[in-house]
Amino acid sequence: MNTISAGAARRTGLVVEDQPKIRDWLCAVLAETFADMDVVSAHDLRTARAWLKDHGRACEGFNLALVDIGLPDGSGIELIKELAALHPGVVPVVTTVYDDDGHLFEALAAGAQGFLLKDEETDTLAHSLRGIERGEPPLSPAIAHRILKHFREQAKPAKDAISLTGRETEVLTLLGRGLTIREAARRLGLAENTVAGYVKTIYQKLNISSRAEAALEAHRRGLV
Amino acid sequence: MSTWAIRTPGTLMALALALCLISGGGATWAAIHQPWIGLRLAPDADAVRIVEVAAAGPSRGLDPGGRLLAVDDVALMAEDAIEEPDTFETYTQHGRFLERQGRLHRLLQHGAVRLEMRTASGQAQAMVVRPVPRRPPASLPMVFWVQIFSGAAGLLIAAWVWALKPRDDAARLLALSGLGLILSAHAAAIYSTRELALDPALFNALSVLNHVGAMLFGAAMVGLFLCYPKRLVSRRTLLGIFLVLAAAPLLDLAKGVLTPVTAFYAPIAIDMVLILGLIGAQWWINARDPRAMAALRWLGLSVALGAGAFTLAIAAPLLLGFETAVSQGYAFTFFVLIYVGLALGLRHYRLFELNTWAFRIFFFMGAALSFLALDAALIWALHLGQGSALGLALAFVIFLYLPLREWLWRRTVGRREVAEQDLVDGVTEAALAATTAERVEKWEGLMRRLFDPLEIERVEAKLDRPDVGLEGLELTFPATSDSPALRLRYPWGGRALFSPAHLALARQAYTLLGRLEVGRDAFVHGAMAERKRIARDLHDDVGARLLTGLHEAGPETRPLLRAVLADVRAIVGGLTGERRPLALVLADLRFETCRRLDAVEIAIDWPVPEIEVADILLDYDHYKNLSSAFREVISNLIRHAGATRAEVMIHQGRDLAIEIADNGRGLAPAPEGGRIGHGLRNITERIEAIGGALVFPPREVGACVRITLPLALPPVPGMPEIMQAS
């Protein structure tokens, strides 16, 4: 595990991935894309949690965690939940092979702010990373459909339930048809940043909404 | 009649009961208040035979079995002890009989009489006997009580039916016939069980009552079948016919022309013929109405058998000049049988079990009657002794009739054996057909084969097993996992009702279907679980290794590995049976392509329609091959075209047409071999395998690839049909 030089106000990138070749590759891409980023890696949950316990609080600025779902000692989704709850300074991004993976949606609902496909070309990956840095997380049509379905099938809205605004639904629908953010922005007559901002909000709402649902479910089952 | 205030069934029944008690009590009183000498007498050849001597009566000491020759100075004739004076051949005989009854009665009333008799061994004997003024009730023979109770039972049953439907014409007529029955029975009870003589005035009165009652009964029954189950004539005509028939006792007045036998029994026979004829007419008219038919069967069955038996037993022999086989008194029980059947029919009792019961009763009665008939025939035609005739008749019945009955039973009521194999085959087909639509269709088809109903209706019903309603007119099946609840009506083209056997069959079918569905679901579930397991392994293990390989591979191999990964993804999708909407497939391709081209800085022009197009679901084959082909074309474009701009046009009509064009180097003039390379040849084959085509329309600048895929695709067996695009 690499160490950070103490006191430097540098950004940190954490790569949690059990396959060594892929781990190295992701670290390399991170280092290349963000010049001022210290990249650390962990090969399982335990190591990742240990690192976070020691260094999680000290992160400033924009910090990234690339988390694989299938880890040897558990699911990366747990880690994403912990990151979202305990380390707000670290942006969790889930990495996966397939973008229609059922777990992917779960990870996003758990608080991941975007996803990366591990089989993409390096350039595309770098492109996506920069987008995430700008606050424009990627959203594939399949994910867009899933999110729309999630909010459509939500239980009857309670008085403080989360739901999408009309605009957000429009954006999701357009993205669901395969438009890029730029094209969607043009179609809606908005700035690209604005639409990208919507995507970010949508992810956040998804996270909140599914946490609320989980709490409700637990309550209903008498577990709370 | 409508001004009558007393209406409740309870009151009417109480009235009827009161009438029974009064009549029965009165008859018993009249029968008891007769002088009694302690004998039971019966007519025998040309004399009066002493059947029994009461041990504690005035005549104790006399030997039974002998013949009573005279009472005081009146010589007795056989006819003096006759049960029913209507059997006299002439009115003269009848008059003489009554006159002698008068003399005997006076003698018995006035004190001791001298009885002259000849014992069984031929010895002459004489004895002075003092008659007791009243007869002990115990001396009344069984046949007395049988007549009393038959009459009462008949009236009570009829009253019961009427009490529940006081305004109904049929019920009213039934009540009238009940009245006739009790009159006739109770009157006959008194005179037919007299010891020897009654006061002629009383006798006459009772005779008249008997006639009136019998004719009332007959007329009312004719009237009943004129209006039940369906009214055949107008009310006025009904009333007219009724009055004409009920006035038959007036025939008694035509003493010159007719004989007593004819005057009484001929109208009875006429009534009987009319009743049978009317039953036949009602049968024919109501052929389309299964419930009317069923009610008719109860009714008609009991009437035919009861009255028919009576006629056979009493009237026919009399008319033909023979002695009656059974004491007339017992014959009244036949009529009670009729009443039971009537009541059941009028109350629509268990109509849906009727066939079974009708069959049983009919065959039982048929056996009994044909046995009697055979016995009589053997005695009469072959002049056999009674003992041997009996034995022969019994043998005949056992060896011939019973097997015949078995066979007929199986033919008519036991239809379910033939159906059982049909049942298993049909239910299996219905449970295991490939698609939901087919399963629903086969289930309904099975209904039709089993029950041939006129109507099958899809309803909302909350049942847990099939049930019969409307007295057997309809059968309702609960919903299955594919089909909604079904209601069947008018089985066998409306010619019958559902019987308990059919209900049992239906329940069997339903249970069987349920079990097969559970099995099928378990199988499907198991197969799915298996596939998901394979998919997961493929996804996780193979996918992970490919990924590793990807990152170790050189730039030439990487596109290949990426394609393999995409294939694995598609295969996993196919294994889990996912079908993807075409719109989503195209959206995915657009998203992926835009990112890929963006990364290598090739501009992309791919118009997206304003509105959502109609949903078309692609099954695994089509989705996978289409995506692979598209991806490969883009890969080629990126690698070889040397282009700065790409265009994608999608057209969705009867066929799906995708055109990908670029402004690069273009393709070599000869499309086969050379620059095309393995990749394109491979995908051309794949597109052709799913019924599409891949062509290269010529262009001035750059290359163009067109993929066409017909969307009017035949459904893949085992999967739901693909919806068509407009």
Its sign, for the CA torsion B696, B698, B703, B709, is: negative
Any chain B CB within 8 A of the CB of A93?
no
> How far is residue B462's CA from residue B478's CA, in Å, rounded to a whole number?
7
Q: Which pLDDT value is given to residue A61?
A: 67
Tens-place pLDDT, residues B429-439: 888 888 888 88
> How far is residue B449's CA from residue B453's CA, in Å, rounded to a whole number?
9
Contacts of A123 in chain B (CB under 8 A): 599-600
Across the interface, whether the CB atoms of B608 and A178 are under 8 A apart is answered yes
Task: Of B579, B637, B580, B628, give the one whose Cα is nearest residue B606.
Answer: B637
Q: Residue B306 — left, alpha, or beta (φ > 0 → left; ψ -120 to 50 → alpha)?
A: alpha
Across the interface, whether the CB atoms of B590 and A19 are under 8 A apart is answered no
User: How much is the average pLDDT of B370-389?
Assistant: 70
Across the interface, whether the CB atoms of B569 and A100 are under 8 A apart is answered yes
Phi and psi at residue B65, to the nearest 5°: 95, -10
Whole-number Cα distances in Å, A106 to A3, A217, B675: 31, 16, 44
**Complex ipTM value:** 0.77
Per cent of chain B over pLDDT 90 is 9
Q: Return the top range by mean pLDDT from B181-190, B362-371, B670-679.
A: B181-190
Residue A21: closest CA among chain B residues belongs to which residue? Answer: B548
Could you say which of B540, B591, B598 has the minimum Cβ distance to residue A70? B540
- Look at residue B669 and tell me whether its pLDDT is greater than 90: no
A96 CA: distance to closest CA in chain B (Å): 10
Q: Which pLDDT value is given to residue B511?
A: 92
Residue B697: other Cβ atoms inside 10 A: 10
- Look at residue A114 and tell me whether its pLDDT is greater than 80: yes
Across the interface, whether the CB atoms of A97 and B550 are under 8 A apart is answered no
Its sign, for the CA torsion B401, B404, B408, B409, is: positive
Across the interface, whether the CB atoms of A177 and B590 are under 8 A apart is answered yes
At A122, is the pLDDT very low, low, confident or very high (cuts 50, 70, 90)? confident
Q: Is the peptide bond before B229 cis (omega within 30 degrees of 0)?
A: yes
Q: Which pLDDT value is given to residue B22?
A: 93
Q: Across chain B, what does the average pLDDT equal?
A: 79
Residue A25: closest CA among chain B residues belongs to which residue? Answer: B551
- Look at residue B726 and tell me whether its pLDDT is greater than 50: no
- What 3-state class would DSSP assign to A98? coil
Where is B86: in which H helix or E strand?
Answer: none
Query: Which residues 523-582 of B have a C-beta within 8 angstroms of A?
Result: 539-540, 543-544, 546-548, 550-552, 558, 561-562, 565-566, 569, 572-573
Per cent of chain A over pLDDT 70 is 87
Residue A183: other Cβ atoms inside 10 A: 20
Across the interface, whether the CB atoms of B558 and A25 are under 8 A apart is answered no
Contact between B466 and B507 under an 8 Å Cβ cutoff? The reply is yes
Contacts of A211 (CB under 8 A, 6+ apart): none
Residue A187: closest CA among chain B residues belongs to which residue? Answer: B610
Tens-place pLDDT, residues B231-256: 888 888 888 888 888 887 777 666 66
> How far is residue A89's CA from residue A14's CA, in Å, rounded to a whole number?
12
Cross-strand bridge partners of residue B486: B458, B477
Any chain A CB within 8 A of the CB of B181?
no
Contact between A135 and A122 under an 8 Å Cβ cutoff? The reply is no
Contacts of B648 (CB under 8 A, 6+ apart): B590, B593, B604, B605, B606, B658, B659, B660, B661
Across the interface, whether the CB atoms of B587 and A127 are under 8 A apart is answered no
The total number of residues shown for chain B amounts to 726
Could you say which of A19, A123, A142 has the minimum Cβ distance to residue B547? A19
Could you say which of B552, B569, B587 has the minimum Cβ distance to residue A178? B587
Residue B311: exposure state from Cβ atoms within 10 A (0-12, 13-18, ≥19):
buried
Structure tokens at B309: 């038996």
Cross-strand bridge partners of residue B467: B476
Tens-place pLDDT, residues B559-617: 788 878 878 877 777 776 667 788 888 888 898 888 888 878 888 888 886 655 567 78
Across the interface, whether the CB atoms of A141 and B539 are under 8 A apart is answered no
Q: Which pLDDT value is given to residue B487?
A: 93
Across the interface, whether the CB atoms of B573 and A145 are under 8 A apart is answered no
The more confidently predicted of residues B403 and A189 is A189
> How far is residue B587's CA from residue B569's CA, in Å, rounded to a whole number?
17
Tens-place pLDDT, residues B485-521: 999 988 877 767 788 888 888 998 999 999 999 998 8
* Stated pTM of the model: 0.49
Any chain B CB within 8 A of the CB of A145?
yes
Any chain B CB within 8 A of the CB of A73?
no
Tens-place pLDDT, residues A199-208: 888 888 888 8
Q: Which pLDDT value is given to residue A6?
A: 46
Across the interface, whether the CB atoms of B550 and A70 are under 8 A apart is answered no
Contact between A40 and A16 under an 8 Å Cβ cutoff? The reply is no
Where is B393: in which H helix or E strand?
Answer: helix B386-396
A121 CA: distance to closest CA in chain B (Å): 8
Task: Of B159, B173, B220, give the one whose Cα is nearest residue B8.
Answer: B159
User: How much is the average pLDDT of B448-465?
Assistant: 86
Any chain B CB within 8 A of the CB of A21?
yes
Across the interface, whether the CB atoms of B551 and A177 are under 8 A apart is answered no
The more confidently predicted of residues B693 and B47 is B693
Contacts of B673 (CB under 8 A, 6+ apart): none
Place of tokens 């449970």: B431
A30 CA: distance to closest CA in chain B (Å): 15
Across the interface, whether the CB atoms of B544 and A97 are under 8 A apart is answered yes
Contacts of B157 (CB under 8 A, 6+ apart): B178, B336, B339, B340, B342, B343
Q: Across chain A, what does the average pLDDT equal?
A: 81
Its sign, for the CA torsion B674, B678, B683, B688, is: positive
User: How much is the average pLDDT of B449-473?
Assistant: 86
User: How much is the average pLDDT of B148-166?
Assistant: 86
- Helical spans, DSSP H, in A70-221: 76-86, 102-110, 122-133, 141-152, 166-176, 181-188, 192-220
Structure tokens at A149: 């379905």
Query: Widest CA span of chain A, in angstroms?
Result: 51
Q: Which pLDDT value is given to residue B353?
A: 58
Q: How many whole angstroms from its chain centre is CA B427? A: 22
Q: Which pLDDT value is given to residue B462?
A: 86
Contacts of B588 in chain A (CB under 8 A): 140-142, 178
Across the interface, whether the CB atoms of B596 and A124 are under 8 A apart is answered yes
Task: Of B468, B460, B503, give the one whose Cα is nearest residue B476.
Answer: B468
Tens-place pLDDT, residues A56-100: 766 666 788 999 888 888 888 889 888 888 887 888 899 887 666
- Look at residue B476 and tell me whether its pLDDT is greater than 90: yes
Structure tokens at A93: 């991004």
Any chain B CB within 8 A of the CB of A118?
yes
Could you say which of B547, B583, B589 has the minimum Cβ distance to residue A22? B547
CB pairs under 8 A between A and B: 79
B599-635 b/e (C-beta count within 10 Å ≥ 16 → b)? beebebebeeeeeeeeebbbbbbbbbbbbbbbbbbbb
At B718, is the pLDDT very low, low, confident or very high (cuts 50, 70, 90)? very low
- Look at residue A160 and tell me whether its pLDDT is greater than 70: no
Whole-number Cα distances in Å, B146 to B62, B333, B342, B393: 28, 8, 20, 28
Across the interface, whether the CB atoms of A22 and B540 are under 8 A apart is answered no
> How far is residue B220's CA from residue B213's CA, in Å, rounded to a whole number?
10
Could you say which of A97, A127, A176 has the minimum Cβ distance to residue B543? A97
Contact between A115 and A85 under an 8 Å Cβ cutoff? The reply is no
DSSP state of B33: S
SS3 content of chain A, % helix, strand, coil (to 5): 55, 15, 30
- Look at residue B403 and tell me whether its pLDDT is greater than 70: yes
Question: B141-155, B203-217, B394-408, B453-467 — which is least confidently predicted?
Answer: B394-408
Q: Which pLDDT value is given to residue B325?
A: 53
Q: Which pLDDT value is given to residue A4?
A: 45
User: How much is the average pLDDT of B468-480?
Assistant: 87
Contact between B180 and B150 under an 8 Å Cβ cutoff? The reply is no
Residue B521: exposure state from Cβ atoms within 10 A (0-12, 13-18, ≥19):
exposed
Across the interface, whether the CB atoms of B591 and A140 are under 8 A apart is answered yes
Tens-place pLDDT, residues B338-378: 778 777 776 665 555 556 666 666 666 666 667 767 777 77
| CA angle (B186, B190, B196) in 5-degree steps | 160
